[in-house]
Amino acid sequence: MSIAFWCVFISALLIYIARMPVAKAMKEQGGYNNHLPRQQQAQLTGRGARALAAHQNSFEAFILFAVGVLTAHTTQTQGWLIDGLAILFVIARVLYVLCYLADRPWQRSLCWGVGFLCSLLLMLSPTFRWLLIQ
């Protein structure tokens, strides 16, 4: 499996890793309500609410990233740039979640922008294939 596909796998895991503080916050709120978890999540505040937002944003970011990697793969665009963009996306998303949990808004936005740019560049990668070393 290529580095870029490993990064897709790691990004999928990050969605659920970002969810862990949400479950912790729900337990601290009187126990995890498995009957109405979304209703309980809507009442979270502070770190729990930020963790929920990071978790939800991780789904949104994953879709674009996966499409970018699949675009590069199906057009047989490969090389150091594709791998580098995929790795940078994963790093940006880890930092994004950490910044969200730590309530660092401008740093979080910067990390989001880096990840978003990586996804867009992966989608556009067939147009600059000449840069890549096969």
pLDDT for 68? 96
**10 in a domain, yes or no?**
no
For residue 130, pLDDT beyond 70:
no
Q: Model-level pTM?
A: 0.91
Helices (runs of H) and strands (runs of E) counted in the chain: 6, 0
**5 in a domain, yes or no?**
no
**1 in a domain, yes or no?**
no
In whole angstroms, give the CA distance from residue 91 to residue 103: 18
For residue 93, pLDDT beyond 70:
yes
Q: What's the number of domains the chain is made of? A: 1
pLDDT for 131? 66
List the domain range (segments joined by +) for residue 69.
Answer: 17-131
